[in-house]
Amino acid sequence: MKFAAIDFETASYRSDSPCQVAVAIVDDGRQIDGRTWLIRPKSLYFADRCIAVHGIRPRDVLDQPEWDHVWNELLPMIEGHILIAHNAMFDMAVLASTLIAYGIACPRIEFQCTRLIARRCWPGRTGYGLKPTADALGITFNHHDALEDARACAEVALAAARITEANCVESLEQLLSIRRGFIEHGSRVGPRSICRSKADRPGPKIKRRKAERYSPIIQARTILDGCGGVRPLENKRVYLSGTLLGLDQVESLRFLESLGGTLVAKGTEKIDFWITGISDCDSTVSVSDNSDHSYSDEVTLDKKNSPLFINQRQLLAMIPGGLSAARAFSGIS
């Protein structure tokens, strides 16, 4: 078992504001190295809620190197390794966004998520955050210190390998029927589960044209391209609660990106659209309880510039062509 576990802490809700990064190197089924760096972000703005989480303040990073210097030391450690993180899409967003912010070429990086691994390895638990997962496995660590989190993440992956008797990351993925994600040219595709029946089916995988024709993502691009390429969520910061159109979480996020949206985390200071889909207890995103909100056909932004709450049907009605175009999507009446 060989991989590199990585963890970021950020100064604010911007994904390009890392203030700490750490990596734990695993080889032959055990941790053999680990290192942490404090980072001076481009902006010394630190959000109060971020400080409350990790305890790092502007004064702690004043004399620390910026990301470009840290990257020169970090890259040799992780080269040749698959990266593993808990809630990996967050950490990979920080990595990709910060490389772009510094004008550094983003190499292809393959990564896996221990939250997804834990869901497949130990189904039925009430929580799959790093702390409850580590507690259930008897792993003690100081949460929200980057190196401690990276080491705990590595131990979760190693525990999953032991229980499945996997001897490498590839074997673990095959046994759990999961697929790794990757970063390429700054774009991210997240890890995902594979239908077990299809994963176990022998022979070559056949692309089904009918299924592709009714893909909501393909439909979105076709309709929008036919309307001059106008994207209803262009330049909008979007948070998704739940999933859309019967898709899984990763495909739901890709669908919103195809509409031009910029995906942001729940705690982001400015969210333009809060989209409520179908709640799924197995979703890898944090799904909030929206029972206190009522949604009508006409939704307006309040005076405090709070997010615009819309549901799936209202989102589809924003597509050029209105509801008639929305009905072109599979499963939407």
Q: What is the DSSP letter of 206?
A: P
Rounded to a whole number of angstroms, the CA Rg of the chain reads 21
Q: What is the pLDDT of residue 99?
A: 93
State the pLDDT at residue 91. 96
Residue 294: its pLDDT value, please?
A: 34
CA torsion, ordered 61, 156, 94, 191, to nearest 10 deg? 180
Coil, helix or strand at residue 185: coil
Model confidence pLDDT, tens digit, residues 28-43: 999 999 999 999 999 9
* 280 three-state secondary structure: coil
Q: For every one of its 333 residues, what pLDDT tens digit does the chain have, with 9 covering 90 and above?
A: 999 999 999 999 999 999 999 999 999 999 999 999 999 999 999 999 999 999 999 999 999 999 999 999 999 999 999 999 999 999 999 999 999 999 998 889 999 999 999 999 999 888 899 999 999 999 999 999 999 999 999 999 999 999 999 999 999 999 999 999 999 876 789 999 886 555 454 444 444 444 343 455 555 555 555 555 567 888 888 888 888 776 777 777 887 887 888 888 877 778 888 888 875 443 333 333 333 333 333 333 344 557 888 887 778 777 665 445 544 543 343
Distance in angstroms (rounded) separating the CA atoms of residues 135 and 163:
17
Residue of 328, 189, 306 lying closest to 245 (CA atoms): 328
**Structure confidence at residue 224 (pLDDT):** 57
pLDDT at 116: 96
* Element spanning 273, H or E: strand 273-276
Q: What is the DSSP string of 115-161?
A: HHHHHHHSTT-S--SHHHHHHHTT----TT-HHHHHHHHHHHHHHHH
Structure confidence at residue 93 (pLDDT): 93
Any idea where the domains of the chain sit in the sequence?
Answer: 3-199, 211-326
Q: Which two tokens stand for residue 321?
A: 């062509």
Residues 67/102, Cβ–Cβ less than 8 Å: yes
Closest CA to 252 of 287, 297, 201: 287
Question: Among 130, 79, 34, 53, which Cα is nearest to 19's?
Answer: 53
* pLDDT one-digit tens code per residue, 155-185: 999 999 999 999 999 999 999 999 999 998 7
Task: Give the fold, CATH level 3, of 211-326.
Answer: Rossmann fold (3.40.50)
Q: What is the spatial distance between Cα 132 and Cα 130, in angstroms, rounded to a whole number? A: 6
CATH architecture of structural domain 3-199: 2-Layer Sandwich (3.30)
Per-residue pLDDT, 230: 63
